[in-house]
Amino acid sequence: MTPLASSLLDAAAGAPVLVGFSGGLDSTVLLHLLATDPLRHATGLRAVHVHHGLQTGADEWAAHCQRTCDAWRLPLQVVRVQVQAEAADGPEAAARRARHAAFADLLRPGEWLALAHHRDDQAETFLLHALRGAGVEGLAAMRGRRRFGPGQLWRPLLQVPRAALEAHARQHRLHWIEDPSNGDDAFDRNFLRNTLMPLLAERWPEAGARFARSATLAAEAAALLLPQDEQRLRACLDDDGTLSIPALAALPAGAGARVLRLWSHRCGLPPLPGNGVERIRDELLAAAPDRLPEFRWQTARIIRWRDRLHAVDGLRPWPPGWQARWEGRTPLVLPDGGRLELHGAAGFQRPVCVRQRRGGERIQLPGRSHSHLLKHRLQASATPPWLRPHLPLLCEGDQVLAAGDRIVSSPLHDWLHAHGAQLCWHPPGNSRPGRPDAN
């Protein structure tokens, strides 16, 4: 087996690197390659181990990673995360989301996050995406390098077969952890790795390399299509980042599908499932304007409202009966992850009660002598229906002072004006209309 070339690491020469270090074979080899390069320590090299807590030996894995980094004189940060084991897309995907969120939180501006995915991983990802009916963007599988948070995500081993990593580890007498869950074929990726890929390799020994090559070709095709897709997306976007249904429906079917997937990705939603584009076209684009159809997958939703498609993710329900006293001096974090803030004033004269709508509330608007049903005012407002249950009500006794920052009563409006203050509500998750991220 040819030794691993040091040129694999040239792309990040001079850049500080954060290594995702699980303690397994792949990340151990990657960390060893970087740690034995004397220039890496000077430019900044550190590691992070994400402690998922899903295995009984998770504490020992973290301890093993710490011993390894101590021996190689590298700083290691162990981050504990909570994984939604009952997530709709399974524990694997939930663990990956938690891991990437931890990486994004730790990455410094200009730093490169190095992950140890290799050619066999790429082949498996290509097959998984093909089995889910992915388009050319999905068949491109993992990218060798892309923007990530304030830095770059970098996979320097993506063209290297796992056998070469194992040969390097044995040559240098490295020690690594074997995850017992890797033998559980109940997970799709494990079934591909343990059962299907060996069977394919018996007949086509280069099957893994060819799948990885197909992923590279798909990435090249996606890159060629991207400029035109971005131009079409800009033409379909409204000022608030929602997608115009008439503009999208006017595109040729293939172009419309790519624009929809690109918009969904730029909005930070999980990848659309294989039947996602078809169902959105049939159930949302073709729906009557007075309906409110939506397409759900994982934690995400795409909703048709007012001739636009809206991207929604991460909306958690409030616990029944939740309420809190708020003085306005510090931000108030709401049960769904939203946030209330008062700017320009030290706090309210008296604490207010913050709670969810119960129904039947009335509010007196500025310049009006009578009150209105809050429900009717919300229906007439620009607040989307799916956000209305998440609007925090600010109350003083039975009097409603405000519904978030969307509808403010006359007494609170006058108080804010007199104090030069502003009430701000930050909705939860990916739910505030806004232009998609350009990454």
Q: Return the ∠ at Cα 213 (arms to 212 and 219), rounded to 5°.
A: 90
Q: How far apart are CA 209 and CA 123, in angstroms?
A: 7
Instruction: Give the global pTM.
Output: 0.75
Q: Give kind and range of the element (H or E) at residue 97.
A: helix 90-106
Is 438 a residue whose pLDDT tops 50?
A: no
Q: Is the dihedral of CA 149, 296, 274, 92 positive or negative?
A: positive
**What is the CATH architecture assignment of 237-313?**
Up-down Bundle (1.20)
Mean local confidence (pLDDT), 39-52: 91
Mean local confidence (pLDDT), 14-33: 95
- The ranges assigned to domains in the chain are 6-211, 237-313, 323-426
Is 434 a residue whose pLDDT tops 60?
A: no
Task: Count Cβ atoms within 10 A of the Cβ of residue 342 and give its class: 0-12 exposed, 13-18 middle, 19 or more buried.
Answer: buried
Q: How far apart are CA 34 and CA 92, in angstroms?
A: 27
Is 398 a residue whose pLDDT tops 70?
A: yes
Q: Which residues are annotated as a binding site for ATP?
A: 22-27
- Contact between residue 312 and residue 431 where contact means Cβ atoms under 8 Å apart: yes
**What is the CATH architecture assignment of 6-211?**
3-Layer(aba) Sandwich (3.40)
Task: Report the range of poorest mean pLDDT among 81-85, 125-129, 303-307.
Answer: 81-85
Instruction: Name the band, by pLDDT with cuts 50, 70 and 90, for residue 2.
Output: low
Tens of pLDDT along 361-386? Answer: 999 999 888 889 999 999 888 889 99
Length of the chain: 439
Q: Token match 């109350």: residue?
A: 395
Is 439 a residue whose pLDDT tops 50?
A: no
Strand ranges (E), 248-398: 294-297, 300-305, 308-313, 323-326, 332-333, 339-343, 352-355, 362-364, 371-373, 393-396
Tens of pLDDT along 175-219? Answer: 999 888 788 888 888 999 999 999 999 999 999 999 999 999 999
Answer whether 6-211 and 237-313 agree in fold: no
Q: Which residues are annotated as a binding site?
A: 22-27
